[in-house]
Copies of this chain bind each other. A is one copy, B any other.
Amino acid sequence: YYGTMATQTKPVLYGYFRSSCSWRVRIALLLKGIAYDQVPVNLIKDGGQQLTEQYKTLNPMQQVPAMCIDGITLSQSLAIIQYLDETRPGPRLLPAEPKQRAQVRMICDHIVSGIQPLQNLYVLQKIGTDKVEWAQHFIIRGFQALENLLQQTSGKYCVGNEISMADVCLVPQVYNAERFKVDLTPFPTIKRLNQTLLEMEAFQTSHPSCQPDTPADLRV
């Protein structure tokens, strides 16, 4: 028995610096001011550390993120974030008003189900050729819809003037779009919101360019 009680109850995030789904969880942790430990899972090295039997017990889907918290293990970023939101103090990531909550979830799901799964590492590995064209295709299609939705729902942030889980999902998806060299000019609302959010400390501290497992040549 080594740790103090505080150490023991700190949630442990299994993630990868460049995984947009891991980044979502890091942003949520920082926005809510929750101390956590991070265990890097390198999706490339050794053929992918997420494919080990050891990691499979944490997340049978063999993807990041996973989180050990309060005696249970969770996977899927939105399930983790909503659990944090429902059990931890700090600014809420879902609005109190049901229609706004629904709009936040709609935007999150457009990204989390409608865009990200089609351009993630596992799918691109299966595609083989034309990876960049494939990823661009689904990101652009998704951003056309998202731009349209955000024009209706956004204020200073994705839904009105309070930060929410939708903002937590938006920024990592824009980062992915930039990795795949998607031109953001046709998406002025997405671009504006992303810029506003990137000025916040929670988005900067959690950025893929400055995580414990970020390789030296990718550090900013």
Query: Interface residues, chain A, CB within 8 Å of chain B?
Result: 59-63, 70, 72, 74-80, 82-83, 86-87, 98-99, 101-103, 105-106, 108-110, 112-114, 116-118, 123, 126, 134, 137, 142, 144-146, 148-149
Q: Hey, which chain B residues are within 8 Å of A60, CB to CB?
A: 144-146, 148-149
Q: Hey, which chain B residues are within 8 Å of A77, CB to CB?
A: 109
Q: Which of B61, B117, B146 contacts A118 (CB 8 A)?
A: B117
Determine how many copies of this chain the complex contains.
2
Q: Hey, which chain B residues are within 8 Å of A137, CB to CB?
A: 126
CA distance A39 to B148 in the complex (A): 23
CA distance A36 to B145 in the complex (A): 26
Listed A/B pairs (10) with beta-carbon separation below 8 Å: A72-B103, A74-B102, A75-B110, A79-B105, A79-B106, A79-B109, A82-B101, A83-B105, A113-B113, A117-B118
